[in-house]
Amino acid sequence: MYMGLFTNENSLFQRIFIFLGQLIALNLLWIVCSLPVITAGAATTSLFYCTLRMHKNGDCSVFKDFFRSFKQNFLQATVIWLILLLSAGCIYMERKAVLTMPGMMPQIFSYIVTAICIPLILIALYVFPTLAAFENKIRKLITNAFYFAVKKIFYALAVAAITIAPMYFTLVDAQLFPVYLLIWMMCGFSLTAYADAWFMWKLFRPYFSVEEEKRLEFGTDQYVF
């Protein structure tokens, strides 16, 4: 009876081990492919491509699916990533400049900068999953990412909390930092993406046509899943 729990391919333990193995493999692929920094956008898109497939089909071919998405979306993902980096850099410099202003001006402009940061953060959280799920021009992808974020604001809050909170606690808890770092290196990034992808899949699914659903089932090159 106990042996059957491990030898049966449909057993709970077997599914858990396969799931953890996929998360660890995806995590390592994302880290390695993000090391050049400029490729982080394409790596993140590929990570969401695979986690979205896992939610749709319950499985994915980790290496094949990851690198297919990496190749297919590399150009758009890299341009979007550079846009986000440039925007973040401009906001950082603006915040530095605000501190040099006289009187009440720093406080007023701090509110303005914060107001600009909010949609930028929402777009950054949603744009790579959107690119992984849909084919479109960059401007439309960014617009759609913001649309998905504000369509269900509670989903956006959950995604933000899942993505940002673990990173925050990792940075502020010096005592447990080695433990957090080990988790991040093993499966932290892929597990976060998998959790975020649960909300993304529920948002994206109504926008696929019947024909797209049929193609997505087989993971063709034209459609992502």
Relative orientation angle of helices 189-204 and 40-57, to the nearest 10 degrees? 60
pTM of the model: 0.87
Residue 170 corresponds to which tokens in the numbers above?
A: 């990792």
Q: What are the tens digits of pLDDT across the range 102-135?
A: 777 777 777 787 888 999 999 999 999 999 999 8
Q: What are the tens digits of pLDDT across the range 62-100?
A: 999 999 999 999 999 999 999 999 999 998 888 777 777
pLDDT at 54: 94
- Report d(CA 129, CA 194) in Å as an integer: 11
